Chain A
Amino acid sequence: MNRRDLLKNLLIIPPGIFLGGLFLKTLSLLKKTPLGKISLESIYGKYNPHAHYYAMGIDIDKCIGCGRCVEACKIENNVPREPFFFRTWVERYVITVDGETKVDSPEGGIHGFPETLSEKEILRTFFVPKLCNHCDNPPCVQVCPVGATYKTIDGVVLVDKDYCIGCRYCIQACPYGARYLHPETHTADKCTFCYHRIVKGLQPACVEVCPTGARIFGEVKPRNNPLARFVRFNKLGVLKPYLNTGPKVYYANLDKEVT
């Protein structure tokens, strides 16, 4: 072997091994799901994801901070009970007469909120339910190195727990703190809009249990839809609009103090 051949080999062999591996992997994937058989129907059944585009509305003035949504979410989605993991939580904002803003969310608001200040000291106060914003331009999806987190056709951001490698880049990239690492699966986890329910035409658990109707789930486009009404009759805000994430959780009566 002369030098030139050797150099050639050096340039060919390592990428060759890599491409060969890629080829074999593709083959094994094809065996599992033969090409051509992957259709939306095989995943969704009769449900047509192209016919929907989901979003949520939250009327801050209606939220009473009871924490039922947090509880319902934990039960419905097997979110660990410990107060460090939430798919949804409620924050309380208290702006005092001194102009100070106090924010708290004891155990995510799951047991409600203890009274802390007397009425005299309070200028204004309100509760803000939070969850994944299912962004139209989601930074978490952008950074996922393996594509385990993705946007569905019907506009929901999901995590494939069988594929997530647990690098936690998505948790860092989410500006809203909506993600956590599930302590059992060691993969990223977050709100799914209760995807397993909505594809059956049901409401997300948090919406279902809200006693005041502060959470409105639905679609923006069809006019005969609770969310479409909500969007038509309210002035709306989203969280951190300057980050250009395009949140799809719309807040009515959003205060400037909310971050």
Chain B
Amino acid sequence: MEELFERLAFSVKEVTGFIYPNEIELHWSILIVVYPYLTGLVAGAFILASLERVFNVKEVEPTYRLSLLTALAFLIVAPLPLVAHLGHPERAFEIFLTPNFRSAMAMFGFVYAWYLLVVLLVELWFEYRKDIVVWSKKEKGLKKVIYLILTLGASDLSEKSIQFDKKAGKLITIIGIPSAFLLHGYVGFIFGSVKANPWWSSVLMPVVFLFSAIVSGIALMILLYMVITLFRRKPVDMSCMDKLASFLLYAMILDFSLENLDFIHRIYESEESIKILYQLLISKLFISMVVIQILLGTIVPMVFLAWTKLARLPDELRRLIYFGSAILTLIGIFSIRWNVVIGGQLFSKSLRGLTTYKMELLGIEGLLVALLFLVLPFIILYILVALFPPWKEAEVELEA
């Protein structure tokens, strides 16, 4: 507690103008920045995977299974920062048991459970069932046991049952797309529906969250695919990369347009909050929003990606551009989350002053824990990939 008071005493000195005395403590920390970032990556990766299934975009097939596994790895971690941030994590389960149905946040449990249990796990199971059955026969020891359990007793490998897997998988994907939209649109709604906060309160918030999610998901898959093929010493499938890069560019154009619409709308309406929000933008958020989010995270990758469309560039250079753009985009989307969550708490609801966020380093809501939650999905993904190799060559060909 002493440490908290020390931190607050420091924050008091950083206040400019007037803020309500209770506003000195900033309540949603970096963990709440990480949470929408993770769910965004889940939704984005899943929507990308769905393209192949539902819209038959054959070029992105090499990333199909990897996208699903990535979505799962990130989804497993997504609720952890939320729980860690609670004042009483041991009471977290009450959200499931005695939800207040008027609360947007209370719906989290249901949206999450639906997405994990009904969409993602079922889709993965149908996608991998054939392989799991074969692996359960081929492998030995612990792995064999794991695969055996995962077959859930359905070891039928007849032509008919395989066809059924395919059909069921497709159906789940079709249910999955609106579910992924729901998962992340809902996260946007949590912020967009807070009428007390003019920085958050916007009907566009869920839509902007959704499109930025798609952008981040595609960027993540480009990055993951390139890094993994590098380590596997395989050639990069350039037609797949070109297609992903196109999708990334289109999604970015949409996302950026929506954000600009929000921006222009605010300036044009010029409501009472406009002065303090302008102060916020040019002082506290200048680096994270103007420089990182807009310039480096959006405009630079968009220009480079557009360049690859307009000019015939050698494969090497295109790969470099895709790689760099994906990294910049991922940083850019993280700063979007930062600017929404932290930015929305840096000005007073009295609209008369600004405060500062002093991040902890070691505490439960500190930087290290946040980094852990950002790294953890990759560790889980590593295990998932080891258990369920998503590559074409690993897929088992059944003997006719």
Contacts and interface: CB of A to CB of B under 8 A. Distances in A.
Contacts, number: 160
Interface in A70-124: 82-86, 89, 91, 101-105, 107-108
A145 B100 contact: yes
Interface in A21-54: 21-22, 25
Contacts of B125: 10
B21 A105 contact: yes
Nearest to B7: A84
B163 to A, nearest CB: 10
Contacts of A178: 22
Question: Which bracket fits the contact residues of A?
Answer: 35 or more
Contacts of B117: 14
Contact of A169 (B97, B103, B122): B103
B59 interface: no
B87 interface: yes
A145 B349 CA distance: 22
A105 B18 CA distance: 8
Question: Which bracket fits the contact residues of B?
Answer: 35 or more
Interface string A181-217: 1011111000000000000000000000000000000
B350 A172 contact: no
Nearest to A149: B100
Contacts of B88: 164-166, 186-187
B76 interface: no
B363 to A, nearest CB: 13
Given A165-B86, A175-B195, A103 B103 contact: no
Interface string B87-119: 110011011111110111110100001000110
Interface stretch (B23-31, B44-52, B211-219, B292-300): B23-31
A134 to B, nearest CB: 16
A152 B204 CA distance: 35
A174 B100 CA distance: 17
B168 interface: yes
B195 A177 contact: no
Contacts of A82: 5, 8
Nearest to A85: B22
A1 B28 contact: no
B54 interface: no
Interface of B: 1, 4-5, 8, 12, 17-25, 27-28, 82, 85-88, 91-92, 94-100, 102-106, 108, 113, 117-118, 122, 125, 152-154, 156, 161, 164, 168, 190, 194-197, 345, 348-352
